[in-house]
């Protein structure tokens, strides 16, 4: 079956360091992959999209890589700040015909001041 896996354990880092989150998927070849931020009690907020023919995408302090051979995406936040503390979700359109996104379980990031 198709699966999206993220490290379910919380990631704790010091302010100023780079946070790296991982998203692995199986049994599928997506045309693109998306990353979202979710704060407690709120809906997901779109951050970045990377397509299958792109290796890397950047937006301000965010960087996403996409390795279609490894079936993995890495999400980096450089110069992390306490305000970056949130849960980060990766999502794919698993081509189920419904055109809805399927989400990973998310990784909670805690940036310590």
Of 17 and 51, the one with the shorter C-beta distance to other proteins is: 51
d(CA 7, CA 73): 12
- Give the Cα-Cα-Cα angle 24, 26, 31 (nearest 5 degrees): 85
Q: Which stretch binds other proteins (CB under 8 A): 12-20, 26-34, 57-65, 73-81?
A: 26-34
**Least separation, in Å, of the C-beta of 68 and other proteins?**
16
Q: Does 99 contact other proteins by CB under 8 A? A: yes
If one asks whether residue 28 binds other proteins (CB under 8 A), the answer comes out as no
∠ at Cα 92 (35, 45), nearest 5°? 35
- If one asks whether residue 70 binds other proteins (CB under 8 A), the answer comes out as no
């Amino acid at each position: 079956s198709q699966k999206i896996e993220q490290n379910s354990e919380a990631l704790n880092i010091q302010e100023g360091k780079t946070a790296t989150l991982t998203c692995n998927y199986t049994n599928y070849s997506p045309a693109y992959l998306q990353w979202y931020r979710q704060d407690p009690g709120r809906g997901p907020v779109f951050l970045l999209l990377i397509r299958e023919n792109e290796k890397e995408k950047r937006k301000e302090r965010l960087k996403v890589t996409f390795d279609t051979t490894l079936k993995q995406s890495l999400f980096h936040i450089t110069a992390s700040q306490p305000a970056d503390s949130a849960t980060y979700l990766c999502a794919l359109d698993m081509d189920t015909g419904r055109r809805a996104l399927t989400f990973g379980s998310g990784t909670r990031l805690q940036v310590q001041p």
